Amino acid sequence: MAKVLEKLQLKLNLPSSRINDNQHAFTTKRSTVSALTNISQNWFNVTDNTHSAKNGVHALFIDFRKAFDLVDHGILLRKLAKMNVTKAFWQWTRSFLEDRRQQVKLAGTLSSVKPCPAGVPQGSVMSPALFNIHINDIENSIPNGLSINICKYADDCTQDEVVSQGSSSHMQEALEAVQEWSNRNKMTINSKKTKDMWICFNTAIPAPEPLISPVLEYAAPIWGGLPQYLIDEIESIQNRCIKILGTSRCNFETREQRRAHLTVKEYQRILSDPTNPCNKLIPQPFTHEHDLRATNNLPYVVSYTKRHRQSFIPRAISLLKQS
């Protein structure tokens, strides 16, 4: 009886037109086949069926960890309210989601009862529709100028971009936008199941972008002063990835070069912004009144320990002096 009521509520209050067309799960006359057709046919068209130079496709397959279990009730209800549903249906949905309890039984023993502050109930008719509402605006986070196509099947999200010869991919920027959406919506991207793929039938296949970079470079200016054994370990990770991609190491900077570049860039960003609170941590430039030929007016930092010498500001100044 409960499922009959849920189906009736959905039919009366949530017509399929409210969900974006790129969602193929839990929608009328859609399936995994329609999702795959939508994705693959476009790839064939742009890579193998053009009169001009064949294009390449950069595809990203995003997987969310425990997606249905992490749906925040407050965020979902706010999104539902923006769809202009009736007050009665909104209140009914709130009652459906909130004040739920769960208990686990293992080997005949029951756990204590705990509240469920997030997630949509499994096995319910309502839950798939509510999840579609929750994930419906993910594409709005991606800047329009990037020309990224998105196809969704429940919590599986495929992004692809047509990349012409000589052009570079913007997929990393799109991924970062989705990551920001995930943070705002209290979702978690499953990095182990998120995959990156290049599709190209040209003789000369363009070198792929290092998508592993955000993992290996996050906050690198801060922790980049590494001992040699850790430098070698990180380089080995990149080398394994390059081998898997089947491209040459010459197409990539070493991770140490990238860390140096990011450190100098961050230092210069701070230096150019007097309002940055980190600006006051940078020593004053060194000048000598008797040496008129000196052009290097970088600050001089005294470090009494190797650990301090490898910290961000001393290391950035040292790198600038070497350049």
Q: Is residue 204 part of a domain?
A: no
Same domain, 256 and 111: no
Same domain, 68 and 168: yes
Same domain, 64 and 109: yes
Give 26's pLDDT tier (boundaries 50, 70, 90).
Answer: confident
pLDDT per residue as tens digits for the range 72-106: 999 999 998 888 888 888 898 898 888 888 888 88
Same domain, 72 and 187: yes
Based on DSSP, count helices (H) and strands (E) in the chain, helices before strands: 12, 8
The pLDDT score that the predictor gives to residue 161 is 92
Over the Cα atoms of the chain, what is R_g? 26
Same domain, 256 and 113: no
pLDDT per residue as tens digits for the range 29-66: 888 888 998 888 888 888 876 666 678 889 999 999 88
Same domain, 311 and 180: no
Share of the chain above pLDDT 70, in %: 86
Same domain, 130 and 90: yes
Q: Is the pLDDT of residue 215 over 50?
A: yes
Q: Is residue 210 part of a domain?
A: no
Last residue of a domain, one of 181, 199, 217: 199
pLDDT per residue as tens digits for the range 158-186: 999 998 877 778 888 898 899 999 999 99
Q: Is residue 221 part of a domain?
A: no
Q: Is residue 190 part of a domain?
A: yes
Whole-number Cα distances in Å, 96 to 5, 45, 115, 187, 312 = 12, 45, 14, 21, 51
In angstroms, the CA 168 to CA 148 distance is 13
Mean pLDDT on 235-254? 77
From the list 10, 211, 212, the residue with the least C-alpha distance to 124 is 10
Q: How many independent structural domains does the chain possess?
A: 2
Give 299's pLDDT tier (boundaries 50, 70, 90).
Answer: confident
The more confidently predicted of residues 48 and 308 is: 308
Chain centre distance of CA 319: 30
Q: Report yes or no on whether pTM surpasses 0.85.
A: no
Give 323's pLDDT tier (boundaries 50, 70, 90).
Answer: confident
Same domain, 246 and 186: no
Q: Is residue 211 part of a domain?
A: no
Mean pLDDT on 178-195? 89
Identify the domain containing residue 58 by its residue range: 1-199
Q: How far apart are the first and last CA of the chain?
A: 74
Same domain, 182 and 238: no
Q: Are 169 and 209 in contact (CB under 8 A)?
A: yes
Q: How is residue 287 annotated by DSSP?
A: -
The pLDDT score that the predictor gives to residue 119 is 87
Same domain, 235 and 138: no
Q: Is residue 212 part of a domain?
A: no
pLDDT per residue as tens digits for the range 286-297: 655 555 444 457
Mean pLDDT, the chain, as a whole number?
A: 82
Q: What's the token pair of residue 238?
A: 């990149």
Same domain, 239 and 151: no
Q: Which residue type occupies 215?
A: V
The pLDDT score that the predictor gives to residue 295 is 45
Mean pLDDT on 273-300? 69
Share of the chain above pLDDT 90, in %: 15
Q: Is residue 284 part of a domain?
A: yes
Q: Is residue 208 part of a domain?
A: no
Same domain, 192 and 266: no
3-class secondary structure for 149-209? EEEEECCEEEEEEEECCCCCCCHHHHHHHHHHHHHHCCCCECCCCCEEEEECCCCCCCCCC
The pLDDT score that the predictor gives to residue 76 is 92
pLDDT per residue as tens digits for the range 97-133: 888 888 888 888 998 988 888 888 877 888 888 899 9
Q: Is the pLDDT of residue 208 over 70?
A: no
Give 283's pLDDT tier (boundaries 50, 70, 90).
Answer: confident
